[in-house]
Amino acid sequence: MEWITEPQAWIALATLTLLEIVLGIDNLIFISILVGNLPPEQRRKARLIGLGLAMGTRIALLLSLVWIMQLTAPLFTVLSQEISGRDILLIVGGLFLIAKSTLEIHNGLEGSNEAPKTYKSGAFLITIIQIAIIDIVFSLDSVITAIGMAQHVEVMVLAIILAVFVMMVASEPVSDFVDRHPTIKMLALSFLVLIGVALVGEGADMHIPKGYIYFAMAFSVAVEMLNVRVRRVTVPPVRLHGPGRPPAAPE
């Protein structure tokens, strides 16, 4: 525990915690979308289990440094492009994210005029399995970032725990907000498609700077927040014709 007396370790802890929160935003969005398909009484439990799995996955990968390093070793070559285990995970995870997000967008648009939502039996387990699968893919970037930024494993683990704790606190307000605003949900699903494309590109060795992606997401959210505010302000008031009487029907 000698790192406690090192100022550089505390700086690394603060910086890494912030980065872990930022890198976990996509995971939080994905969990928020998935738990929205569950009955209201199961959503909080699913969120906490999902984020707990994310924390466990990141710590497990962090403690498996030898395995992480082996993932970067080329397994085979396709069209002169070397493919490693990490590339396969990123590509498969990206395709899964694109497919899942596209299906959710389709259900949101085409199912808007259908009967009230019904909840399938076993949906809770299916949701947790989907969260666990994508957690592995989302954890790769955060673990690699942690390894590159901090020298002490204890600092890396503590940063992950703090970041997940912050996300646990923020998960319910974020999920509720997304669930109340259909346009925000569509925007979030579009983000997931974008992230899925970025993961596939990363797996194919086409590196897209994360700063561009996060800037596009932040800008889109800012514009949509303005739209939400404008819709609240410009909703026309209900005017009654006469004391307590609705307007007369046109003849």
- How many Å apart are CA 52 and CA 10, to the nearest integer? 24
pLDDT of residue 111: 61
What pTM was computed for the model? 0.66
pLDDT of residue 21: 76
pLDDT of residue 190: 85
Within the chain, residue ranges assigned H as helices are: 7-23, 25-35, 40-62, 65-71, 85-110, 123-149, 153-180, 182-203, 210-234
pLDDT of residue 138: 74
Domain boundaries, the chain: 2-234
- How many Å apart are CA 104 and CA 189, to the nearest integer? 8
Mean pLDDT, 10 residues at a time, the chain of 251 residues: 65 76 76 82 86 84 70 78 82 84 80 54 81 78 65 77 84 79 80 84 80 81 84 62 53 50
Indicate the helix (H) or strand (E) that contains 206.
none
